[in-house]
Amino acid sequence: MGRGKSKGKGAGKGRRAAPPPQSLRHLLTRRNAIALWWLALLWWAGAALYPPSLPATRLSGVVFGGLLLLGLLGLSWRYRLLRWCLLAGGAVALLLFFLPGHDRYDRVALREAIAAAARRYEGCPVRADGENFLGIGPNGLVRRATLEGTFRYGLETLNPALLRRAADLWWRGLPAMEQAQRRDFERLLSGKTFAQFDPGILFPADIALYEASGRLLLHLGAHQWMDAGGERVAVLSLEARRAPEHSQALSIYRWRFLKARRPTGQAP
């Protein structure tokens, strides 16, 4: 009996001496959590800097952006002041984004904001499917300038409607002019050259579409257009009637949200 007991005790001691398996709790240390947060930040930055804006990169940007915010909140939870600052900032951002907006914004100021956003890309290398400073194409230039100018002006005027407009344009991308004419654009004219219409009808942020090539130009005002058709983005002046671009047929489009508001009581 004694031997059996001693044998059992020895076996029990042997089992207890075996190292316990490493649990998930031991892996999720603060140091490892910080390392994972930095890896997520690098992934998010890579997706943001990747020139083509694809649905996959936009989705990954949203997912990893949310994870970064949650991770930052979790890592800073022990610091009371920082924790409440993050919570308050997130609440203000959500309220500003989801509160009802209005359409009584200054169209002239918004057009100028979009033109100013386009000018910031002057000199950037041209890449057909690009949409940032590392490389941008004609469609990307129109899209980025419109959403950046709209977002900045929406923040300056605290107008949630413009913030949602910028977010929608970022998520959907630039729609094809012909397919989205009823929803997004108003076509001012088509089938004419620059020399055949009065430039006085143009406003900043209007878009010229060359019908043969599909090339886009963004109007800056004062006969100047932002062009991403060469090696680098440049300002193209079409004031001279002998410019080669005057001989090409085109269509002129205007964003519907940039149209002047109809006076109250006026028939449509």
Q: pLDDT tens, 120-132?
A: 999 999 988 888 8
Higher pLDDT, 247 or 148: 148
Mean pLDDT over all residues of the chain?
Answer: 79
* Res. 110: pLDDT tops 50: yes
Q: Which of 116-125, 133-142, 227-236 has the highest mean pLDDT?
A: 116-125
- Residue 18: per-residue pLDDT: 52
Beta-bridge mates of residue 130: 52
Give the CA angle between residues 204, 209, 213 to the nearest 5°. 150
Distances, alpha carbon 166 to alpha carbons 150, 152, 223, in Å: 6, 9, 26
Tokens of 176: 């094809």
Distance separating alpha carbons of residues 211 and 226, to the nearest angstrom: 18
Residues paired with 125 in a beta bridge: 232
Residues 256, 186, 204, 213, CA torsion sign: positive
**pLDDT band at residue 250 using 50, 70 and 90 as cut-offs:** confident
What share of the chain has pLDDT > 90, as a percent?
25
Please tell me the pTM assigned to this model: 0.75
Q: What is the token pair recorded at 230?
A: 């060469």
Q: Are 219 and 225 in contact (CB under 8 A)?
A: yes
Is the separation of the CB atoms in 150 and 169 below 8 Å? Answer: yes
Count CB neighbours of 194 within 10 A.
21
Would you tell me how many other CB atoms lie within 10 Å of the CB of residue 82?
Answer: 14
- By C-alpha distance, which of 169, 162, 160, 116 is closest to 139? 169
Q: If you average pLDDT over residues 142-161, what whole number do you get?
A: 93
Burial of 158 (0-12, 13-18, 19+ CB in 10 A): exposed
Q: Which domains does the chain have, with CATH numbers?
A: 32-98 (no CATH), 107-258 (3.90.1720.10)
pLDDT of 29 reads: 74
> 172 pLDDT band (50/70/90 cuts)?
confident
Interacting residues of 70 by C-beta distance below 8 A, sequence separation 6+: none
Range in 133-147, 193-207, 216-230 the model is least confident about? 193-207
Instruction: Look at residue 12 and tell me whether its pLDDT is greater than 60.
Output: no
pLDDT at 49 over 80: no
